Amino acid sequence: MPMKYAIRRKDRAISPEEAFALLDAAEYGVLSLVDADGSPYGVPLNHARVGNTLILHGSTTGRKMDCIRRESRVSYCAVGKTEPVREKFTTRYESVIVSGRAELVEEPEQKMKWLLRLCERFAPEEKPNHLDAAKAFADRFMNETAVILVAMESITGKANP
C-alpha cells in the first residue's frame, strides 16, 4: 500500500507492518470526515481490520452518515501507548494514520458478515457461543446499525519510543 505523504520526522517512522500491528492493537481511533460546508468532523469509533479494510459501525442516521454519503474520502487515526516525559518536554507515543474511501454496506447478509468480524475482535472469546450471542445482538439492531468499510489507500505510522 503506497504512502501518499512523506513523514517529516523520518527517524520516527515505523514500517507498514508495525503500523498495521498498532492499528490492530488500538482500542479505538478517530474517523475524520468533511461536512457539507467544508468544516472538519471527527468522531471516535472502535474498529477491526481485515486485510486492507477497516470495519467501523454506527447509527444509520446522523452527521457521520451524511458526511460519508456526500464524500467517501476519510482519514482514520489511532493512538497506541503514550507517556509524557516532562523533564524532556516531550511525549513517548505511537500512532497510525490511514487514508482511504468509506463505503456503506447495505445488504443485510454482508452487514452481518462484517459486524461479526468486528464482534470477533471485541466479544469475549472465553464465553461459550460468543459469536452466537453477537449474531443475536446484531440481529436485534440490524435496521439501526450502519456498517462502514474503509478501503485503505495509505497507512503511515510514527513512534517516539
State the distance between the two ends of the chain, measured CA to CA, in whole angstroms: 25
Instruction: List all residues 6 or more positions away from 160 whose beta carbon is below 8 Å from its beta carbon.
Output: 12, 90, 91, 92, 93, 94
User: Where is 79: in which H helix or E strand?
Assistant: strand 73-85
Model confidence pTM above 0.85: yes
pLDDT value of position 121? 86
pLDDT value of position 120? 83
Per-residue pLDDT of the chain (161 residues; tens, 9 = 90+): 555 556 777 777 889 999 999 999 999 999 999 999 999 999 999 999 999 999 999 999 999 999 999 999 999 999 988 778 888 887 777 899 999 999 999 999 999 999 988 888 877 565 556 778 778 878 888 889 999 999 999 999 988 88
Contact 101, 74 (CB under 8 A): yes
